[in-house]
Amino acid sequence: MRTRPAWMLPPIDELTEFPASDIARHLGNLCRYAGGTPQHYSVARHSLLVMHLLPAQNPGLRLLGLLHDVHECWIGDLLRPAKARVKLAIDDLEREYDQRIRQLVFGTEYVPDAYLKAVADADTLACSIEMEWIGKDTDWSDFPHSFDCAMTLAAMGDPLRDAFDWAFMYRAVRRRACV
């Protein structure tokens, strides 16, 4: 019998608890946009940006934003054109993984539709911000979004830092969300 290396996440259906540190490491190493950015830009950093675009007074919603791409630890980050070609299969797989992740973190698969829409809207806004700002040489003084968003983007480029920042925020926001 072949054993799985310690650094590899087990299949999602074998998880009995949410391995935040392992997930943070995976998300920190996983590049957005198929690695096509001028410097390393991770799924962890993107998830932090999405979280910062959601209302600070709603830690449960922010936690959902932080977790919105965790399924990519198992299925990768597909570019939109590729995702569109395998849409139904990917949507089903993402939904299945997201439900399991929510069960592990929140104790329930249910999320109000308004929360899902808010996270989807923040994700869309994050993508447009990324397209505008990644690779741009700026002092951030003309950045039209929050200070936290600017600081999140300014810190990109280091997978280890991305993983650390994601894990730190996961623990902080989860505690505030009383989960």
As a whole number, mean pLDDT of residues 102-120 equals 95
Q: Domains in the chain and their CATH numbers? A: 30-176 (1.10.3210.10)
Residue with the larger pLDDT of the pair 79 and 70: 70
Whether the per-residue pLDDT at 109 is higher than 60: the answer is yes
| Mean of the per-residue pLDDT values of the chain | 90
What integer pLDDT is reported at residue 179 of this predicted model?
Answer: 67
Q: What is the Cα–Cα distance from 44 to 26, expressed in whole angstroms?
A: 8
What integer pLDDT is reported at residue 138 of this predicted model?
Answer: 62
Q: What letters, b where the CB count within 10 A reaches 16 and e where it falls short, cover 65-103? A: bbbbbbbbbbeebeeeeeeeeeeeebeeebeebbbbbbe
What integer pLDDT is reported at residue 49 of this predicted model?
Answer: 96
Whether the per-residue pLDDT at 63 is higher than 90: the answer is yes
As a whole number, mean pLDDT of residues 52-60 equals 96
Whether the per-residue pLDDT at 102 is higher than 80: the answer is yes
Residue with the larger pLDDT of the pair 140 and 125: 125
Whether the per-residue pLDDT at 161 is higher than 80: the answer is yes
Whether the per-residue pLDDT at 165 is higher than 80: the answer is yes
What integer pLDDT is reported at residue 172 of this predicted model?
Answer: 96
Q: Look up residue 125 and give its two tokens.
A: 């806004």
pLDDT confidence bin for 141, thresholds 50/70/90? low
pTM: 0.90
pLDDT confidence bin for 32, thresholds 50/70/90? very high
Which pairs with CB-CB distance under 8 Å and at least 24 residues apart come from 98-106?
A: 98/68, 98/70, 98/71, 100/12, 100/13, 100/15, 101/12, 101/18, 101/67, 101/70, 101/71, 102/67, 104/15, 104/17, 104/18, 105/18, 105/63, 105/67, 105/174, 105/179, 106/179
pLDDT confidence bin for 147, thresholds 50/70/90? confident
